[in-house]
Structure 1
Amino acid sequence: MTARIFQSQFTYNFPVLAGSKFLRLYFYPAAYSGLNITESFFTVTANEFTLLRNFSAYLTSTSSEPSFIKEFIINVEDNQSLNITFSPSPKSFAFINGIEIVSIPDTLYFRGNDVPIKFVNQQFYLQNRTALETLYRLNVGGAHVGIRGDTGMFRAWDQDDEYIFGGDFSYTPHAENVSINYILIPAYTAPKIVYTTSRVIANYSKSLEWNFAVDSGFYYLLRLHFCEIQLEVIHQNERVFTISINNQTAEIEADVISWTGGPEIPYFKDYITWVSDDGRHGKKNLRLSLFPYLKGLPKYSNALLNGLEIFKLNDSNRSLAAANPDPLQEFSPPGPDTSPGKKKKSKDSSVLYPVIGSVTGVLVVLLFLSFLIFRRRRRVKDSGISAAKSSWVPFSSTSKSTVKTSCSGSSLPSDLCRHFFLEEIKFATGNFNDSFVIGMGGFGKVYKGYIDNGATAVAIKRLNPSSNQGAREFETEIQMLSTLRHLHLVSLIGYCDENGEMILVYDYMVHGTLRDHLYNSENSPLQWKNRLQILIGAAKGLHYLHTGAKHMIIHRDVKSTNILLDEKWVAKVSDFGLSKIGPTGGTNTHVSTMVKGSLGYVDPEYYRRRQLTNKSDVYSFGVVLFEVLCARPPIIQNIPKMQVNLAEWAKLCYKKGTLEQIVDSNLERQIAPECLSKYAEIATRCLRDNGIERPTMSDVVWTLEFAMQLQEAADNRGDGGVVVDQGDSPMFSSYSLLKQEETTSTDDNKIFSGSEVVVKLKSTSTSNADSDLFKSSSSTSSAVHDRLKSHTIFSEINNPIGR
């Protein structure tokens, strides 16, 4: 393993021909020459462009594949060399493992002043004075295409499976006998295999959606590749669809045949979009959506995409640099004697030639040949959950944690998340002072504290030292949460297992749980659209667990107290102590396990058969849907028998057409009839007795978003909402007499696992910023904005036996 190390500024000078170039920088952070790779920060410039600033290859790499490539597109003017300068930060060093320069056609990506690119109903001109960074290059619907499969420019085309979101999809078969005719675009634009595979919509009225993490504060170029290869689509208006980028319409009526004049003719469309910066200079989500355009009555209600490329454009300071990733995924850097020869060699390595040291007068430069054994990587990938990773290993002294443990006997893995000293936890909680307690339960107490010199508010969950409960759940939650990153999943910051303690540290959720804002609370009731938006977020979090990780994850304890709300009211699914890895494929359709969950939410099919599937989560979420609509617990004792169980009562009312009688009275005239109809339909489908008949979480997300669209359309028309007519319903006359401190849900039943947390309420304060989330007419008490509360923020495990 070789690298060039720079402890002062150093410049490579390449006297290349004028024109556009791919510049690829290869990095493999390791402990070279005894240097601490975690202390390597440096800046890289190419002529007048800043490519990287205060860059840490160590923070950018991942534990699963520590090597990666940064690809840029730079134009070199006449009589100009390509100068690549590495500048170490103070008291640091820079390094590089390989440099690759490939000439490309000047018009491959740059258009010039005469050909504009669409930009939100405006025109954008992309000139060669712009530098680009390649972020994503995908063979949509097809397999990975290595550099030998490209058109001579050594580009790798990745699969799109990791980025696809929502809906039911189908792959079109690889069209072996298709004759691709490059009559509108050059043949080097993309390889034939990109145009002979695609992803299309499987079911009517669905959409294709991809999500990509990008840096805020930059413009982005999206190139979409199209080619109609299905024999049934040969005329205009047979497949017409809309293209949306970050919820902005880029193309209303996209018709590939209209663009090309016929099938088997490839084409591409370029779009420019801006990703705003909120001052945090962090990652944001870039969403690409394709959905059928039905107004023109096309023959097929469908959409397709063959390939996709996404590039970042330099800013006004001629910079492409962004902040380093947060150190969420950790690994111990390998030693310099790691032998690459023991790894699988890339089949594409023979097309490049190595040059060690300072080299001039060459077009393709590599500092070492063996680096190409590693697969090309341009982004930090979610490593997902590995079913095989079940054993605990000793904590490594080379962990990237900002707080290093002195407890060498720790049984928890160092490569998952931050490890805290016990003294640091004691300082954050005032030595576990009860005045810091915001909740308690079977697991122990939950404290609010501050870490990093008071800069970060956190929730600290501590296992009762005298209890032997929850040890397995403690480990499970670390395994699950530390390897999952999603907007709608609660973030685990770290843990402490020193001196027999078992402590978990999470992001602090200012607004507590969803249930805190439904009933048994002093909080003002949420408006309907806010409830719906929270449910959409929670559904997306569950959908990610089911489909977005390496293996399916079944939450197994979905309930309103496990949906947390941050300061912006964004929903976060929490509590993974009971989670299970789902079926791993083949003939496996379920996981056989003892029943755990919370009474009123548990899937009855799972309860009967002891067979856990992702549809068990769907059932539990269906209960939450009605819980939010009706503002009552899933189980209420001492009322008419048919009304005790919310799921059964709601299904009966839906069947009888009397659902509006059990809707929360605080939602009077807020819900559009068509929205309520669609909402109740998906909630009822979630509660079907047979799991196979229930929708997927993808279907739930789509339907809830559609319900939101129906609600917004009704609001824009000024239509009145549903009149809530509860009459003399015994359920509500009984429930209204419940005192706030009474327990109405038996979550602590010892047959199951989740128990209620007794909450210590702190003082409240009124916040004008929160007022728009509530019905002003019903806000008789001040909104709880910064109070130290939130019961059942975390599930408290009472019966960990028999997992």
Structure 2
Amino acid sequence: MFAFLLPLFSFLLFSTTTTTSAQPYKPTDYFLLNCGGATTTSNRKWDTDERSKFMPSTTSFTSTPNKRDPSIPEIPYSSARIFNTSSFTYTFRVTSGPKFLRLYFYPATYSGHQANQSFFSVSSNGYSLLSNFSAFLTASYLGTQLVGSPPVPNIIKEFIIYVKPTQSLNVTFTPSPNSYAFINGIEIVSLPENLYYKSKDLNYVGQTSGPMITEDTSLENIYRLNVGGSQISSKDDTGMYRSWDQDDRYLLSAIGLTPVNMTPIVYTADTPNYTAPELVYATQRSMGNQSELYNLTWLLPVDSGFYYNFRLHFCNIIPQYTRQGAVLFRIFINNHTAEERADLFYWTQGTGYPVFKDYVIFVNDFDGSRRKQDLWLAIGPNRDKSEQYHDAFLNGLEVFKLSLFNGSLAGPNPELQPTPPSPPPPSPTGKKKTPPYAAIIGGIGGALVLMLSVLGFIVFRRVKHSGDKSDEQKSKDFGLPSGRCRRFTIQEVKDATREFDETRVIGRGGFGMVYIGYIDNDTTAVAIKRLNALSKQGFHEFQTEIGLLSKLRHVQLVSLIGYCDDEGEMVLVYDYMSNGTLQDHLYKGKNPHLPWKRRLEICIGAAKGLHYLHTGANRAIIHRDVKSTNILLDENFVAKVADFGLSKLGPKEKGVDYVNTTVKGTLGYLDPEYYKYQQLTEKSDVYSFGAVLLEVLCSRPVIINRGVPDEEMNLAEWGRKNYGKGTLHEIVDKRISDEIAPNCLMKFGEVANSCLRMKGSKRPKMDEVVWRLEFALQLQEAVEKMDGEVSGDMKGGSGMSGNQEFMFPVKEEDVSVVEEYEYNYELEGTSTGVGIQHGLTSTDGSSHEVFVSETVLPR
């Protein structure tokens, strides 16, 4: 606890900062056009574009919206210039250097032209800024993303264009066929050359190199956030009229605390006073010295297929943090470690000195098509390295999209949220039909996350306040933050499932029955899991997964919507995964087989989910039951890790990488080293994931008890033997064998084999697994682009002769034959059976019970 805490501080909201810096930046070029309207003065002077030197006199007309939303300013949204026949270009004579170009759009009906009929492209000085852009779709999408905020009626698109000597700044609008273009306002502001183009070195995340930001690069600002502080309007910027939004709406995994600032902000030559306003550096979101079990995480949807520059703004404003090494924290961007030990006192001169860091990351297309993807940023204490305090904090964030080599910044129009599946009609009386297996949300749970203590942190104030609890929320709340996890009454659950109608059953797991349900007036489909009173996974698991999943959010984890603990019932409510489990599409059910590339993308997604579990909280979360039935697929086949009922928190002590615990897991996926020593590590999940990789490649169960030769009973052992002999291609699923590029198979087999090494210390970490699989995907895509498609069978296609075998760089340790041993395991509600697992017999001759959380294949 901080020694400087005083009760008086709890009443302070903000302390005005001072600065020794000069005045803010004054732009050399400044244009503000009210398109289609008159010259007027609001907060700033807007000039009319009518009969101006910036545009030709024909090919367009002006109009006013049929109605204007009262929440937006009158200027420039009371008028628009319309182009519906041909391209239209504005020309601005400016000095050379980088310029902000801001385009103002208000989608409405103009002179009978409907908003949803407007599609157009915008280019500037050879850069494609927008292509077939729909302001209507974009505004509608943003209105669905900003949870808790009103709909978004208007849009401001901000770009940075570098104007070279002798050039003017041209902005061209081109309507799509049978459509029209419009613009409400145009703003052009110059900016310092060294602010974004000649700034400090770029740090590349997830790769060793990447694009530089040069005069040939154009940028689009996607996010600009005042982290932990209030909205900063354009007039309060440093002279460039940038707007800084609050970060609340993007914050996911924790609310964090906002320290009271008592420190003057002192700009430096490396961080001049125009870099960001004082209000950015004088406020921050902090975890607080006592926080242990979570990271601060922001979720930021972006267009796939582009590089992004993350500019993180920092300034230490907590007086007790006074030396290097006292506070070290980690920075993660999209499952990659950007900084292992961020130290502000190593980066700056001390308290009150601002600094920023740039991190560049590429966002891959998920399935070859560009779409919105969730990009996440997380920070958390490095408890192993920090010498005194365990904290992490951030003051500001800017995210820029970088233009492609062809000068394009244009992404696709966003897809609006699909309509949820309609609830089925009431089932007739009499014999009930069994519905098709849809999505087993088989027991998503997690390691018990302790409630975070904030006692004594009077100096901090929360940005988000919990609302008053309703009468329905007066039973156990498990210490959950308000709004994080919804509490349902038992009547709401019964209404959603029609009194737990058997026709609504979509799965059975160790926890109990899983139903499809419909909540919120039948508008939202959910998966509802009801505890079986006879289940061994009882209240502890129920409490654990609520505590965990209410605090963790990630695109590759199934989200917990809420729970019910009324009348002795224990019910969990999750997102509904319409494409079921990964196993459903491999060898169970009647689903069409998954093509190889999609399987590979699913593996990458699941690996990212596991990596987030291992690194997304301050203490690692070990899943302990990774398998193909616990990887679920949404409507777009995005993989989401599920079933955390057996999960455990990783070790708390420094220098220890395991926790002692009873052996639990599922046959064929269970780490033999964990079985032998009863020491659970992150590498236990890695082993299980290696078994999943072979399952994906071969489309067969990990354990087959009869009907196959003994050497083929255990897939992990059989796969490693074939890998070692160079015959892995012989056990590949025949339905996809001619789709796999040989180099991709080599890399994929290498990853699976390394995950399945007998010694956990020899296995890779999940972040390494992620980038190796991504490299395998790149190998696959390279061949597909070169050949159009991979043709031929695995031994004769793609340029290989029919007698050529795959040669793998195999170490002796990777192919050593291990001893098989039998051990007992317990099936829920069944008698004990015998299974085969490769590994070493315990030296003391003891046997361990292995808990199987799901029913295995019948004998």
Gaps in structure 2 of 5+ consecutive residues = 1-10, 15-23, 31-69, 78-103, 107-138, 150-156, 159-188, 197-212, 223-233, 248-258, 282-311, 315-328, 365-370, 376-398, 419-453, 797-801, 804-830, 837-847
Q: What does 1:16-165 align with in structure 2 at a 5 Å threshold?
A: 107-108=191-192, 132-134=242-244, 148-150=265-267, 151-152=272-273, 153-154=277-278, 155-156=280-281, 158=313, 161-165=330-334
Does the aligned pair in 1 maintain the 2:330–2:340 contact within 8 Å? no
Cα 1:275–1:580 change in 2 (3 A) is: farther
Cα 1:55–1:149 change in 2 (3 A) is: farther
Are residues 1:524 and 2:661 paired? Answer: no
2 CA distance for matches of 1:657 and 1:480? Answer: 42
2 CA distance for matches of 1:57 and 1:408? Answer: 29
Cα 1:652–1:178 change in 2 (3 A) is: closer
1:756 offset after TM fit, Å? Answer: 2.5
Are residues 1:588 and 2:672 paired? Answer: no
Cα 1:374–1:106 change in 2 (3 A) is: farther
1:659 offset after TM fit, Å? Answer: 0.8
Are residues 1:667 and 2:736 paired? Answer: yes
1 CA distance for matches of 2:714 and 2:746? Answer: 21
1:407 offset after TM fit, Å? Answer: 6.0
- Specify the alignment match of 1:412 in structure 2: 478
Does the aligned pair in 1 maintain the 2:510–2:536 contact within 8 Å? no
2 CA distance for matches of 1:750 and 1:166? Answer: 35
For normalisation by structure 1, the TM-score amounts to 0.52
SS class of match (2:475): coil
Are residues 1:751 and 2:850 paired? Answer: yes
Are residues 1:278 and 2:415 paired? Answer: yes
1:684 offset after TM fit, Å? Answer: 0.4
1:406 offset after TM fit, Å? Answer: 2.8
Find 2:458's aligned residue among 337, 340, 343: 343
One-letter amino acid of the counterpart of residue 277, structure 1 = P
Q: What does 1:687-698 align with in structure 2 at a 5 Å threshold?
A: 687-698=756-767
2 CA distance for matches of 1:135 and 1:272? Answer: 22
Does the aligned pair in 2 maintain the 1:419–1:495 contact within 8 Å? yes
- Specify the alignment match of 1:239 in structure 2: none
Gaps in structure 1 of 5+ consecutive residues = 5-15, 21-41, 61-71, 74-104, 138-143, 181-189, 200-206, 221-243, 253-269, 282-338, 345-372, 384-395, 728-742, 760-803
Q: Which moved more, 1:706-715 or 1:749-758?
A: 749-758
Give CA deviations for 1:699-758 in whole Å, capped at 9, x if unaligned.
11111111111111111222435427999xxxxxxxxxxxxxxx99979x9721411399
Q: What does 1:209-358 align with in structure 2 at a 5 Å threshold?
A: 250=404, 276-280=413-417, 343-344=458-459
Give CA deviations for 1:492-523 in whole Å, capped at 9, x if unaligned.
11000000000000111111000001113222
1:485 offset after TM fit, Å? Answer: 1.1
One-letter amino acid of the counterpart of residue 432, structure 1 = F
Does the aligned pair in 2 maintain the 1:119–1:273 contact within 8 Å? no
2 CA distance for matches of 1:410 and 1:168? Answer: 37
- Specify the alignment match of 1:542 in structure 2: 610
Find 2:753's aligned residue among 668, 672, 684: 684
- Specify the alignment match of 1:11 in structure 2: none
1:547 offset after TM fit, Å? Answer: 1.5
Does the aligned pair in 2 maintain the 1:539–1:701 contact within 8 Å? yes
2 CA distance for matches of 1:707 and 1:650? Answer: 18
Cα 1:572–1:173 change in 2 (3 A) is: closer
Are residues 1:426 and 2:494 paired? Answer: yes
2 CA distance for matches of 1:341 and 1:167? Answer: 34
1:535 offset after TM fit, Å? Answer: 0.7
1:691 offset after TM fit, Å? Answer: 1.2
SS class of match (1:484): coil
Does the aligned pair in 2 maintain the 1:405–1:419 contact within 8 Å? no
Q: What does 1:664-743 align with in structure 2 at a 5 Å threshold?
A: 664-718=733-787, 719-720=790-791, 722-723=793-794
Give CA deviations for 1:171-201 in whole Å, capped at 9, x if unaligned.
7998999999xxxxxxxxx97854xx788xx
1 CA distance for matches of 2:737 and 2:146? Answer: 56
For normalisation by structure 2, the TM-score amounts to 0.49
Cα 1:692–1:417 change in 2 (3 A) is: same
- Specify the alignment match of 1:457 in structure 2: 525
Are residues 1:398 and 2:535 paired? Answer: no
SS class of match (2:416): coil
Number of matched pairs? 497
2 CA distance for matches of 1:2 and 1:172? Answer: 31
Query: Percent of pairs identical after alignment?
Result: 41
One-letter amino acid of the counterpart of residue 333, structure 2 = I
One-letter amino acid of the counterpart of residue 191, structure 2 = T
Q: What does 1:157-236 align with in structure 2 at a 5 Å threshold?
A: 158=313, 161-166=330-335, 194=356
2 CA distance for matches of 1:409 and 1:175? Answer: 44
SS class of match (2:735): helix
1:209 offset after TM fit, Å? Answer: 6.2
1 CA distance for matches of 2:614 and 2:851? Answer: 22
Cα 1:119–1:486 change in 2 (3 A) is: farther
2 CA distance for matches of 1:272 and 1:666? Answer: 38
Give CA deviations for 1:74-95 in whole Å, capped at 9, x if unaligned.
xxxxxxxxxxxxxxxxxxxxxx
One-letter amino acid of the counterpart of residue 522, structure 1 = K
Give CA deviations for 1:374-419 in whole Å, capped at 9, x if unaligned.
59x8xx9xx9xxxxxxxxxxxx9824xxxx5536332633424000
2 CA distance for matches of 1:745 and 1:483? Answer: 39
- Specify the alignment match of 2:702 in structure 1: 634
One-letter amino acid of the counterpart of residue 453, structure 1 = N
SS class of match (1:133): coil
1 CA distance for matches of 2:674 and 2:734? Answer: 33
Q: What does 1:779-794 align with in structure 2 at a 5 Å threshold?
A: none
SS class of match (2:850): coil
One-letter amino acid of the counterpart of residue 343, structure 1 = I
Give CA deviations for 1:106-153 in whole Å, capped at 9, x if unaligned.
7359999xxxx989977989999985333699xxxxxx9986244454
Does the aligned pair in 1 maintain the 2:219–2:400 contact within 8 Å? no
2 CA distance for matches of 1:55 and 1:711? Answer: 35
Does the aligned pair in 2 maintain the 1:172–1:198 contact within 8 Å? no
1:641 offset after TM fit, Å? Answer: 2.0
- Specify the alignment match of 1:331 in structure 2: none
Does the aligned pair in 2 maintain the 1:559–1:621 contact within 8 Å? yes
